[in-house]
Amino acid sequence: MIVNERDCRHEQVLHIARQMMTAARTAPKGKGVDIIEVIMVSGDDLKVLSEKMISIADETGLNFFYRDAENILQAECIILIGTIDQAQGLNCGHCGFATCASRTEGVPCEINSVDVGIAIGSACATAADHRVDTRVMFSAGLAAQQLKWLGECKQVYAIPVSASSKNPFFDRKPKQ
């Protein structure tokens, strides 16, 4: 049997993306409470996400959303990682408030923020171990958050995944 890498690349990338999801899930948590949500987006849903990013760019004037909206269409899939907003009850003050109860609405629990960051790092390390290309994108994560693809998660980040001769997520030209 002869197998050309081009014939199995897509399925291989999706397999690695699933491993990235597992790595995000099993990443250490600051208080041991699992408040992370992880999903994979592929196929036609990449276009849905791209269109949402374009609408955000139209509404906000943030032109990098246009560039990123075009860029994610070069991905085989995208991993989305977000955190449920849940104060961890430590009264640690890392969020800027003396107690969890005094934290104002909209201010994230810092433990949640660290947990989502560790999950992102763990997923990206898995991708690097398998030599697939990634980039962490705030823009695509915000679009996914507005689409509510991870329910009520906050601080959603996207990791587009690709396997090509050159990483399409770097050396990008600004969109005019």
Q: What is the pLDDT of residue 170?
A: 82
Mean pLDDT by 10 residues, the chain (176 residues): 88 97 95 94 98 98 95 97 92 92 90 95 97 96 98 96 88 69
Note whether 169 and 79 are within 8 A (CB).
no
Q: Per the domain annotation, does 128 fall within a domain?
A: yes
Q: Per the domain annotation, does 81 fall within a domain?
A: yes
Q: Per the domain annotation, does 77 fall within a domain?
A: yes
Calculated CA dihedral for residues 68, 74, 79, 80, nearest 10 degrees? 30
CA angle 75, 80, 84 (to 5 degrees): 170
Q: What is the pLDDT of residue 175?
A: 64
d(CA 83, CA 61): 27
CA–chain centroid gap for 167, Å, is 17
CATH number at residue 140: 3.40.109.10
Q: Per the domain annotation, does 11 fall within a domain?
A: no
Q: Where are the alpha helices (DSSP H) in 3-103?
A: 5-26, 44-60, 64-71
Tally of domains in the chain: 1
CA angle 138, 140, 146 (to 5 degrees): 100
Q: What is the pLDDT of residue 31?
A: 87
Q: What is the pLDDT of residue 6?
A: 86
Q: Per the domain annotation, does 172 fall within a domain?
A: no
d(CA 133, CA 143): 21
The model's pTM: 0.92
Q: 123: domain range?
A: 18-162
Q: Per the domain annotation, does 9 fall within a domain?
A: no
- The closest alpha carbon to 174, from 66, 57, 53, 50, belongs to 66
- The closest alpha carbon to 155, from 96, 107, 103, 122, belongs to 107
Q: Per the domain annotation, does 97 fall within a domain?
A: yes
Q: Per the domain annotation, does 2 fall within a domain?
A: no
